[in-house]
Structure 1
Amino acid sequence: MSAAPRAERPYVEPPLDGRKDEISCITLLGFAFLTYNSVTAAYRSIHDLWALSFVLVAYVDLVSLFWCLRQFERSNQRHKVRLKVAVWFLTTLLATMFSYKVASVMPWPVAVIVWFVGFASIIGGFYAFFVYREPPIHQTANVNKL
């Protein structure tokens, strides 16, 4: 017995959950951990201007990235384009900064690999955010055949 195929329905975004405005304990714990580590790293590098700048820029970048991601989840389609640009820029800055820091203490063959991986992630992120278009989702029923 063969069942007739069901009409395909377009994908409908799920309704926004009312709890998305709440901040979970895990989020607060992660933010507190990031802040504590950043403060201790800044304190240890207080006499090295470049290291202190790295710590402060990385902290501000991460906090901005998390804020942008949260706004992205709650925003409408028009604002998502701008937030995608901001997220890509912030992740590019982080990848470049950390690639520079890691590559500076590695021998040159490993440094080349580190820079390659950093640039590959930047290019991959650009492709995923701005070039790739996901095919439409087709919702079909699972039909059990007897």
Structure 2
Amino acid sequence: MANQKPDDSDPLLNPPATASNRGSNGGGRTPWASLIGFAGLAVNLALCIYRAEGDRGTIAFVSFAYLNLLLLFWCIRQLDRAPPPHGSAARGRIRAAVWILATSLTAAFTWKVAAGGAPPPPPVAWLMAAATVVGGFYGFFVHEEK
């Protein structure tokens, strides 16, 4: 009995495809929570640029972070919608893009924290960032779900 294959008709193991688990927005429904979140990010970007008072470094940093987040969320959505085979080339390219975007965002924020003299000393901040990047790489590419 322990080696018995699970029944494919079991709704707990194989739930029917619904709007919440098939990777779409419900067949044309507007994803209001996402739109509100992105609008909040856009307002935050505008306020940061306004408060930067012409400081090009700050404007470049917040613009980079905003665009990086937009691309990261878009790539994650594409990854959710990609065909299920885990070894497919399309999924591999999208996962690489997600990892690169997350790594660049981690590096940008670590650079900002280390330069600002925040409580963790710069080597500790960079060590934590490196552990995050290496752990993400391991989880995303080495120990992928088979």
Per the normalisation by structure 1, the TM-score is: 0.78
**Structure 1 runs of 4+ with >3 Å offset:** 9-19
Secondary structure of the corresponding residue to residue 137 of structure 2: helix
Secondary structure of the corresponding residue to residue 100 of structure 1: helix
Q: Point out the more displaced range, 50-59 or 83-92.
A: 50-59
Q: Which structure is larger by alpha-carbon Rg, 1 or 2?
A: 1
> Following the alignment from structure 2 to structure 1, what is the Cα–Cα distance between the partners of residues 137 and 76?
16
Which of 77, 81, 98 is matched with 1:87 structurally?
98
**RMSD between superposed Cα atoms in Å:** 2.6
Per the TM alignment, residue 17 of structure 1 is displaced from its structure 2 partner at its CA by 3.3
In structure 1, stretches of 5+ residues that fail to align are 136-146
* Structure with higher RCO (Cα < 8 A, 6+ apart): 1
> Following the alignment from structure 1 to structure 2, what is the Cα–Cα distance between the partners of residues 128 and 74?
20
- How many residues align structurally? 132
Secondary structure of the corresponding residue to residue 129 of structure 2: helix
Match of 1:7 in 2: 4
Amino acid of the residue matched to residue 4 of structure 2?
Answer: A
> Following the alignment from structure 1 to structure 2, what is the Cα–Cα distance between the partners of residues 87 and 13?
27
Q: Point out the more displaced range, 12-21 or 32-41.
A: 12-21
Match of 2:121 in 1: 110
Which of 52, 61, 66 is matched with 2:59 structurally?
52
Q: Percent of aligned positions with the same letter in both sequences?
A: 34
Per the normalisation by structure 2, the TM-score is: 0.78
Amino acid of the residue matched to residue 126 of structure 1?
Answer: F
More helix by share: 1
Q: Is 1:129 matched up with 2:140?
A: yes
